[in-house]
Amino acid sequence: MTKILDQIKKANDIKKIDPSQYGALADELRTFIINSVSQTGGHLASNLGVVELTMALHLCLDLPKDKIIWDVGHQSYTHKILTGRQDQFPGLRTFGGMSGFPKQRESQCDAFDTGHSSTSISAALGYVRARELTDDDYTVVAVIGDGSLTGGMAYEALNNAAHLNSNLIIILNDNKMSISENVGGMSKYLNGIRMNENYIELKSDVETALRKIPGIGDSVARGVKKSKDSLKQWLIPGGFFEDLGIEYMGPFDGHDMNQLMRAIKTAKKEKQAVIVHVITKKGKGYEPAENRPSEFHGVGKFDVQSGEIAKGSKMTYTEAFSKAIQYIGTKDERVVAVSAAMPSGTGLTKFSKRFPKRFFDVGIAEEHAVTFAGGLAAGGLKPYVAIYSSFFQRAYDQIIHDVCIPDLPVVFCVDRAGIVGADGETHQGILDLSFFSSIPNMTVFAPKNLYELYDIMKFSLDYNHPLAIRYPRGEAFDGEQEHRAPIVLGKSEMLYEGEQVALVAVGSMVETAVQVKDELAESGIQATVVNARFVKPLDTEMLDHLAEKHNMIVTMEENVIRGGFGEAVSDYYMTKGSAVYVKHVGIPDEFVEHGNVAQLKTSLGMDAWAIAGKILSEVLL
């Protein structure tokens, strides 16, 4: 028997499916996504929650003419399948394969590249204004989760959208989750709407009755619907969205195709911005994901039958950080931790349970998180802000203005620094060394292994200035345990002293540097290996020592070369007038696509074999 899904080869093919088969198609889509992600890893729970919503959008819109902008974009798998990319799923998030996020270069049906939170309404509003100025005619839809409404950029866009006199549909996909459970006032407000069955039933009954009036029913119903009557204000306190000037519809069952299609078709008729509020269940249709949505948000390979997720045997850097912050939390009651909606991903869950009054999850609001931490520090506490490297980018001004200018003792715990792999350009942490080290009053440290991460966390307790500690994703390097010199501000660590070539490596690249040393030894070169530790301030005493005894200094960092550690070293030598040759190993001036970390490093010439080959080609000339 031919599967319904096999009938969909390109955009709009779903419109050929008989409506009686929509439920079966939703089941097939979920089964396909579950089986695919179990083999490749990816975002599961969020995608399972929007299957019917995505189907309804595709049935009501004409792609690629009409535009769907997915906030974050991690929930776009059904969209990709319905636009003819089913056969690309074996390569999902792999090197050279299909991205896990919308990509304009991948399909005309992907209207906007996304990856970070709270951007969709702004992009959609831009499309609407472009549509007006070009006198075009297409529908624009932003799909944003309730978690993304904890981010300030969404409110900036809503404020701007209130002035529209043409159609913009904002689908509020409300599943009570971001990655972890939502927090804050908006979460409570939406929960109040969800729970207010009296209003929902009354609204439905009144509109149905009015529409039955012969001749004038529809127009009267629309008039009542648009009115700001006191009854609605009483039943839904504040009428937040409509008070802004944005039409509100809902809430609707996000898994009821009939409700969804009626709502979308009605919303398309509005001559203003309209929010269509839909309630969905994250992980729907797969019990392990329904019960553990945070674990199945971004998941590795797993067993479909048991729901058991494949895990490495070694401790990760995030787990090492988790242990370290709990330890210093027991030593100093001033220690507080701040998360931007990712306590699990950044290793703060155990701290939050152990010290609930000293843990703050501010939602997907990195800018607020940093300034809030500045206030905590000014108030005499010792805040640790744990955020992914690529998300710290969003708070650059606050780091400068609210922490570094007043020189406050905030510790920035920069998780997922360097090449993170499968999530691609929007998540690679390849810029943080450059932007953190460019700021006055900022100190930047990168541990070589998990023990050095423990040591810098202890050091940070008594350090009374801004400090960024950056560490990579995945299993923590536990080698070089015999080298554990005490941490001294601005001092690097000599691991192996040789001659001719000196490898000065930052953080995760120390392990690679040791491998390069071994490769060079096979060609008769006894290289020096230095663990840089501090990217800022530079250990100029060590750099002077290396210049005296070596012909080539090779800097190694998992960061863009431009503005990074290597350029700082070159600048120091040039300013001093040193003739020593400096070679940079790092990421060129380009974004890094998705793929396996090892494959990406090889493609960038950053694996040990490639680095050793480049050195030998120059040394042996």
Tokens 């599943």 belong to 175
Q: Determine what percent of the chain falls in helix, strand and coil, rounding each to the nearest 5.
A: 45, 15, 40
Rounded CA-CA distance 178/344 in Å is 12
- Give the dihedral of Cα atoms 195, 197, 199, 200; nearest 10 deg: 110
Rounded CA-CA distance 4/149 in Å is 35
Q: Which of 103, 176, 382, 394 is catalytic?
A: 394
Q: Is 282 a catalytic residue?
A: yes
Tally of helices (H runs) and strands (E runs) in the chain: 25, 19
Q: Is 211 a catalytic residue?
A: no
Closest CA to 55 of 92, 20, 15, 88: 15
Q: Which of 270, 366, 493, 567 is catalytic?
A: 366
Q: Which of 67, 80, 282, 533 is catalytic?
A: 282
Rounded CA-CA distance 503/215 in Å is 83
Closest CA to 68 of 137, 143, 10: 143
Please work out, in degrees rounded to the nearest 5, the angle formed at the alpha carbon of residue 572 by the alpha carbons of 570 and 575. Answer: 105
534, β-bridge pairs: 445
3-state secondary structure of 181: strand
Tokens 């624009």 belong to 140
3-state secondary structure of 49: coil
Amino acid at 583: K
Tokens 């100029």 belong to 540
Rounded CA-CA distance 244/25 in Å is 38
Closest CA to 100 of 88, 109, 111: 88
| Residues 212 and 182 sit within 8 Å (Cβ to Cβ) | no
Q: Which tokens sit at 487?
A: 């941490």
504, β-bridge pairs: 530, 555
Q: Is 394 a catalytic residue?
A: yes
469, β-bridge pairs: 413, 445
CA distances from 360 to 203, 355, 357, 396, 400 (A): 38, 10, 8, 20, 21
| Strands 528-531, 493-496: pairing kind | antiparallel
Rounded CA-CA distance 539/227 in Å is 68
- What is the length of the chain? 621
Q: Which tokens sit at 110?
A: 């992907």
Catalytic residue positions, numbered? 282, 366, 394
